[in-house]
């Protein structure tokens, strides 16, 4: 029968007291691991930032296109309403000279297309108003303006104008006569100043290359 090995037991006890406690899985991150993690994080952040920027740019472009489309739609409605209500009513201009009912931009009237129209008057208005107006359209510095004169025969009359379109790089008017011919100005000759065109053709080019070609009928 062997005796207990007390010496070995005491030795083991002495060693266990001198050594620090050992923990499993106590290994930390190395500097390289931290740098790799930071690099991956920065790449992910960059990708997210680019995606977010592209999304914002796309949203802004779509919003600008909607605004432009709405403005174009309103302008077309104004033009269509004004042209369809055109009437054969000559006027007296600022110099007390007779002007035809429908006059395209020329040397005499500058860059303004103007014509007489019949408008709907509010029957409940307390002010006396004529149901005939002189309307004009002016293209200047990349913008299209709608002009209205408060009086038909505008001797010393002042006009008011409103911008209806912008970002235009080119604009041209053409006029269809009763002979179905297409003219670059109206009246096509002095002896036809009493005539109205049967239609007006508008060609627009915008700064991003978009084009619009529209024909407006004139009832007369």
The CATH number that applies at residue 160 is: 3.10.610.10
- At 152 the pLDDT is 78
Q: pTM for the complete prediction?
A: 0.68
Please indicate, yes or no, if residue 12 is contained in any of the structural domains: no
Please indicate, yes or no, if residue 194 is contained in any of the structural domains: yes
User: Can you tell me the distance from the alpha carbon of 55 to that of 57, in angstroms, rounded to the nearest whole number?
Assistant: 5
Tokens of 51: 């995606």
pLDDT tens, position by position, 32-79: 888 888 888 888 888 888 888 888 877 777 777 777 888 899 999 999
| Cβ-based neighbour number of residue 165 at 10 Å | 24
- Please tell me the total number of residues recorded for the chain in this structure: 220
Residue linked to tokens 């930071």: 38
Please indicate, yes or no, if residue 198 is contained in any of the structural domains: yes
Please indicate, yes or no, if residue 39 is contained in any of the structural domains: no
Please indicate, yes or no, if residue 58 is contained in any of the structural domains: no
Annotate 19-32 with b (16+ C-beta within 10 A) or e (fewer): eeeeeeeeeeeeee
Note down pLDDT in tens along the chain; length 220 residues: 455 554 444 444 544 455 555 545 556 678 888 888 888 888 888 888 888 888 887 777 777 777 788 889 999 999 999 999 999 999 887 778 888 999 998 756 567 899 999 876 555 555 555 678 899 999 999 999 999 887 777 655 678 899 999 999 999 999 999 999 999 999 999 899 899 999 999 999 999 889 999 999 997 5
User: Can you tell me the distance from the alpha carbon of 43 to that of 2, in angstroms, rounded to the nearest whole number?
Assistant: 69
- At 110 the pLDDT is 64
Please indicate, yes or no, if residue 7 is contained in any of the structural domains: no
- Count of the separate structural domains present in the chain: 1
Note down the domain range covering 200. Answer: 79-121+130-217
The answer to whether the peptide bond before residue 187 is cis (omega within 30 degrees of 0) is yes
User: Can you tell me the distance from the alpha carbon of 69 to that of 72, in angstroms, rounded to the nearest whole number?
Assistant: 5
Please indicate, yes or no, if residue 19 is contained in any of the structural domains: no
SS3 145: strand
Asked if residues 201 and 177 have their Cβ atoms less than 8 Å apart, the reply is: no
Tokens of 44: 């992910």
Residue linked to tokens 């620090």: 20
Nearest to 215 by CA among 160, 174, 186: 174
Q: Is 167 left (phi over 0), alpha (psi -120 to 50) or beta?
A: left
Alpha-carbon torsion angle 146, 130, 115, 140, nearest 10: -20
Nearest to 119 by CA among 151, 86, 163, 75: 86
Please indicate, yes or no, if residue 33 is contained in any of the structural domains: no
């Amino acid at each position: 029968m062997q005796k207990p090995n007390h010496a070995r037991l005491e030795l083991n006890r002495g060693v266990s007291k001198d050594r620090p406690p050992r923990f499993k899985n106590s290994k930390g991150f190395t500097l390289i691991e931290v740098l790799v993690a930071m690099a991956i994080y920065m790449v992910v952040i960059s990708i997210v930032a680019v995606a977010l920027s592209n999304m914002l740019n796309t949203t802004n472009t779509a919003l600008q296109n909607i605004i432009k489309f709405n403005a174009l739609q309103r302008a077309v409605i104004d033009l269509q309403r004004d042209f369809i209500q055109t009437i054969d009513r000559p006027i007296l201009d600022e110099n007390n000279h007779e002007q035809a009912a429908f006059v395209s931009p020329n040397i005499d009237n500058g860059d303004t297309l103007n014509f007489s129209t019949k408008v709907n008057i509010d029957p409940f208005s307390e002010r006396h108003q004529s149901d005939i107006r002189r309307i004009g359209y002016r293209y200047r510095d990349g913008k299209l303006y709608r002009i209205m004169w408060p009086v038909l025969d505008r001797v010393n009359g002042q006009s008011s104008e409103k911008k209806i379109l912008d970002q235009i790089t080119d604009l041209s008017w053409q006029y269809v006569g009763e002979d179905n011919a297409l003219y670059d100005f109206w009246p096509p000759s002095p002896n036809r100043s009493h005539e109205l065109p049967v239609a007006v053709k508008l060609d627009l080019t915008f700064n991003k290359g978009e084009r619009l070609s529209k024909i407006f009928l004139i009832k007369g």
